[in-house]
Amino acid sequence: MKRISVLKNTVQEYAWGSHTAMSELLGKKPPSDNPQAELWMGAHPKAPSRVKSGGKWISLSALIEKNPEDILGKAVAEKFNNKLPYLFKVLAAAKPLSIQAHPNQKQARQGFERENRLNIPLDAANRNYKDDNHKPECICALTPFWALNGFRKISDMLPLMERICPKRLENEVDDLLKQPDRRGLTRFFHGLMTMDLHRQKEVIANAVVNAHKYAEDDPVFKWIIKLHSVYLSDIGVLSPIFLNLICLDPGQAMFLPAGELHAYLDGVGIELMANSDNVLRGGLTPKHVDLTELLRVLNFQERDLNILTPQKISKYESVYSGKADEFVLSVVSVKKNMTNATFATKSVEMLLCTKGTARIIPADKKYTVKVNKGTSVIIPAAVEKYRIEGNAVFYKASVPLISPY
């Protein structure tokens, strides 16, 4: 495969998805009958994209298997075992997603092998590890995007807890005051998540009553009320107290490494990650929760949020800095008066048009690919150079530049 090609992708329907956001992005008539949560662009075995080849729609994973160097590029094919290293998504959250974290590479490999030995089917509801890969990820807001990301500073956490649960969490707050460090935070979180159900219900009820008193002053308390309206007796309702609450503006992004506890709450975003579907959940979900495994992989380090904004690398392209070997996210903007929007490919790229219309033309000018809002394309490494003409905005997934030698 040596041509720029349009992708046909799978939309995942999960209960927390939107009936309108995905349809609007893909240019289809909203609303959809079922909630549409994620659009997958990539070669993950669960839902590989398809490409038209020889008059037929062929799985991208099958095409890569036949032509790894043409599609991925020599260096990427060698480094990532002839596999596409990233998974590109659109995420549309109309309801909060689960509190979750992802394993690092070693944990993913060990967990996948362990569950295989136990003969747990890959599609089983109680399966934690769907593959043997880690899952660092970047989320970039297309609309205002609310999320929880990483443990708050303990010094910020304590006053919130004292306001929301002055009596019911007295012992846990005292313990954290005495040991305001990583070990104290570990003990606090473990105690909160494993307390008996009767006490959890009492704590939640007390917290929600108090949250109504402060909801107009602080979105932390407003989100406790919102989470409670969906998950009545889940202790994860309190997560805005101990996790950083953020609203990303459109165009802002954040990077999530392995072990970082997080939850996406509301909004539409572009998501780019290592090619994995490994999720360890801790709450706010009807799906399988494995608290023991989650606690094993979590990073109990309090931290400030690092919001990413794109940094210009050319007249047409801006890049979000990240720390992943598998992927880099950038945004490409072209206008009709731009006559030389030319790009060089060092590895496989995927582009998703989120606004406008354009034409993508390879350097040899032998054909043109027309795109509009919602169209996604793959640009194999064999293309080497291409030009974009039109008036459009794209989000681009690629692999950080690496030498083939």
End-to-end CA distance of the chain, in Å? 23
Q: Which helix (H) or strand (E) holds 8?
A: strand 5-8
Are the CB atoms for 381 and 348 separated by under 8 Å?
A: yes
Contact 140, 269 (CB under 8 A): yes
Catalytic residue (choose from 281, 296, 303, 359)? 281
| Distance between CA atoms of residues 129 and 115, nearest Å | 7
Please return the burial class of 190, using the count of CB atoms within 10 Å of its CB with bins 0-12, 13-18 and 19+.
middle
* Contact yes or no for 195/178 (Cβ under 8 A): no
Task: Count Cβ atoms below 10 Å from residue 73 Cβ, excluding itself.
Answer: 23
Contact 148, 131 (CB under 8 A): no
Structure tokens at 169: 């969490």
Q: How far apart are the C-alpha atoms of 312 and 393, rounded to whole Å? A: 14
The annotation status of 107 as a binding-site residue, yes or no, is no
Annotated ligand binding at 137? The verdict is: yes
- In the residue annotation, 183 being an active-site residue is answered as no
Q: Give the distance, in angstroms, between the CA of residue 366 and the centroid of all CA atoms in the same chain.
A: 36
Which residue type, as a one-letter code, is found at position 310?
A: P
262 is in an annotated binding site: yes
Non-local (6+) Cβ contacts of 184 within 8 A are 154, 175, 176, 178
- In terms of Cα–Cα distance, which of 346, 309, 353 is closest to 332? 353
- From residue 118, give the alpha-carbon distance in Å to each of 68, 195, 281, 290: 33, 29, 20, 16
Compute, in degrees rounded to 10, the torsion defined by CA atoms 36, 38, 39, 45. -120
Whole-Å CA distances, 283 to 97, 98, 306, 380, 383: 9, 6, 24, 40, 45
Residue 110, annotated as binding a ligand:
no
Residue that the structure tokens 């329907």 belong to: 13
DSSP code at position 238:
G
Of residues 275, 274, 269, the one with CA closest to residue 246: 269
Instruction: Find the radius of gyration of the CA atoms of the chain.
Output: 22
Residues annotated as catalytic (active site), given as ranges: 281
Binding-site residues for Zn(2+) = 100, 102, 137, 262
Binding-site residues = 100, 102, 137, 262
